[in-house]
A and B are shown apart, each in its own frame.
Chain A
Amino acid sequence: MTKYTDQGKQDTRSGFGAGMTELGRTNPNVVALCADLIGSLKIETFIEENPKRFFQVGIAEANMMGIAAGLTIGGKIPFASSFANFATGRVYDQIRQSIAYSDKNVKICASHAGLTLGEDGATHQILEDIGLMKMLPGMTVINPCDYNQTKAATIAIAEHHGPVYLRFGRPKVANFTPVDQTFEIGKALMLSEGTDVTILATGHLVWQALLAAENLENQGISAEVINIHTIKPLDDKAILDSVKKTGCVVTAEEHNYLGGLGESVARVLATHHPTPQEFVATQDTFGESGTPDQLMEKYGLNNKAIEAAVLKVLKRK
C-alpha cells in the first residue's frame, strides 16, 4: 500500500487561517467575520492585511450569520467563523432561513469540531454538526483531514457559489496530504488501494484509518482507504466502485453515528448495493473533558477502533 508520511503535526484550524491569508491576497471579494474568537480561528494575518474586510461581531453568532447573508448582496464572499457548536446548533434557524433557504454565498467556517477540542468539555464539543448541516437543502458539507487539505479546501470553497459548511479542529494532528494537492469539492480521494475491506474516513479519522490499514496489512488484510472530505455532495461512485470490489465497509468519523458520514454512506449502499457496514463514530452521546487522545480512545474513535470494526465487518461478508 501507499505509505503516507506525517510532515509534522499541525492543527487543521491553522490550515484554515493559512487559506484565509491566501484568499485575502488573491480574492478582493472575500470578507471575514468572527464572533470573538480570532486567535482560535487563526485569522490574525487576514485581519492584519485586510482590516476593512474583517468584521468583529462580538459574542453574537446569530447576528454574524445574518450579516454574512447580507454581505453577499453586493457580491461579497463572507467567511463566517466560530467554534462548530456556536456556528451550527446555536444559530440553526439563522443559517436555515437567511443563508440556506435564501441561497446566500456564505461560507460557515467551524473550528473545534468533534471531541478533540478536549478539556473544555461537552458544552464546547459538538458531535451533531454534520447532521445538522447536511440536512439543509443546498448546503455543501466539507470535513478536511489535515492542515494541507484544510488550507486547500478553504481556498476552493471561495470559488464555489453557494452556502458551504467547512468543519475543522483544534488539536495538532498528522499533516500528510501533499502540499500541492488541489481540492475538488465532492471528489473522494483514494489514499490506499485494497481488496478486502473499504474504510471510508473523514476529518481527523483519515490518518487513523491509514494507521489501521497499515496494521491490518501486517495481519494479511488488504484495506482500501478513501478520504471522504466532502460529506455532501457525497461521491457515490467512488464509494460504490470500492465496495463492489471489497464487499464490506467501515465508516469512520468524529461525529455521532446518527446523522453523520456513516448514515450518508448507508443510504447510498442501501439504495444501490446493500453491503455490510460498521460505524466508527460516537454512540448517541455527549462528550466530556479530557485530552484529545484520551477522548478518542474512550469514545472509540482511533485506529484501534477502526481495526476492530474491520475485523467485525469482515465476518459479516
Chain B
Amino acid sequence: MPKTEELQDLVVQVRRDILRMVHKVNSGHPGGSLGCTEFFVALYNEIMDLKDGFDMDGIGEDLFFLSNGHISPVFYSVLARKGYFPVEELNTFRLIDSRLQGHPTTHEGLPGIRVASGSLGQGMSVAIGAALAKKLNGDDHLVFSLHGDGELQEGQNWEAIMFAAGNKVDNLIATVDRNGQQIDGGTEDVLPLGDVAEKFKVFGWDVLEIENGNDLKQVIAGLNEAKSRTGKGKPVCVVMTTEMGNGVDFMMHTHAWHGKAPSDEQLAIALEQNPETLGDY
C-alpha cells in the first residue's frame, strides 16, 4: 500500500480516537483537533526527523511545539500511535491522576510533550528559544510549531514574529491553522485577523500557503516545501486553511464544536462516518 494511503488510514483512526476521547469524559475540544488531524499525521509520520524514544533536550532530532494546547486530543492520539506512550493510555484523557491532562503539560512526564500550552499565544516564543538552542548547539535539525488563527489575537505572538525575523531564526517552521473559527464565532467577526499570510510577510517571514489542510497530500507537499525554504535567513510560516470538525459532517462549517463533546447518538453517527482502520484503543 502506498505510504499516503497508509497515512490516510491513520488519519481516520486518529479521528476516531479524538471523538471517543472527548465523548468518554464529555469534555475537550474536538473541532480544532479534527481540523488538524492531517497535519499531525503528516508531521509525525512523514515530515519530522525523529529519534527513537523521548528526551527533553531533543538534540539531533526535529522538535514540535503545540501552541494552541486545547487541541490536545489530536496531539495525544498521534503521539500514542507513533509509539511515545501506549495507545491504551488514551483511555485516561482528562481523568484524575492521568498524564493526559486537558491541555498538554510536562508536569506528569508524558513523553512527547516539551512545554505546557493552553494559555494561548506562548508557543511561538518557546519554539524560537528551542530553535536558538539548536543553533547554539550546532544542531541542524528543525523546529516546528502549530498555532490557532484566533490565537494570533494574543500580542505575544507579534513580539515573537518580529523577533524571529529580526534574528533570522531560519530553522523554524510555524504553521497557522486558518480555520476561521474561535469560541465566540468566526475570527473575522470576533476580531478580524485579515490577511494572515500578508501580515507574516511584512514582518519579514517567508510564507507559503496550504489551500486545503485536510488534504493529506497537500499537507505533505506544503510542509516539504516549507522545509526546503529553511536555512535561508528567514523564519518560515505556513498558513494552512482547514475545516474545523473535518471528517464529521455535523461538526463542520460551524464553531459550535470548538469545546463540546458529542452525545452517545452523535458519537455513533460520527464513528460511522469514520470506520475503524487500525484498531481502536
Contacts and interface: CB of A to CB of B under 8 A. Distances in A.
A283 interface: no
A270 interface: no
A144 to B, nearest CB: 27
A74 B117 contact: no
B139 interface: yes
B114 A62 contact: no
Given A66-B122, A67-B163, A74 B128 contact: no
A222 B130 CA distance: 54
Interface string B156-179: 100110110011000000000000
Contact of A70 (B116, B126, B139, B159): B126
Contact of B126 (A31, A66, A96): A66
A94 interface: yes
Most buried by B among A52, A53, A96, A102: A102
A97 interface: yes
A69 B159 contact: no
A140 B134 CA distance: 27
A154 to B, nearest CB: 21
A102 B106 contact: yes
Given A70-B129, A103-B107, A63 B159 contact: yes
Given A58-B163, A68-B129, A94-B122, A74 B59 contact: yes
B63 interface: yes
A64 B122 CA distance: 10
Given A52-B136, A71-B133, A73-B57, A63 B160 contact: yes
Nearest 3 CB-CB pairs, A to B?
A70-B129, A66-B125, A74-B133
28 contacts: A57-B159, A58-B159, A58-B162, A60-B159, A62-B159, A63-B128, A63-B160, A66-B124, A66-B129, A67-B126, A67-B128, A67-B129, A68-B129, A69-B115, A69-B129, A70-B125, A70-B132, A72-B129, A73-B115, A74-B58, A75-B133, A76-B136, A93-B122, A94-B156, A96-B119, A97-B122, A98-B122, A102-B107
Interface of A: 31, 52-53, 55, 57-58, 60, 62-76, 78, 93-94, 96-98, 101-104
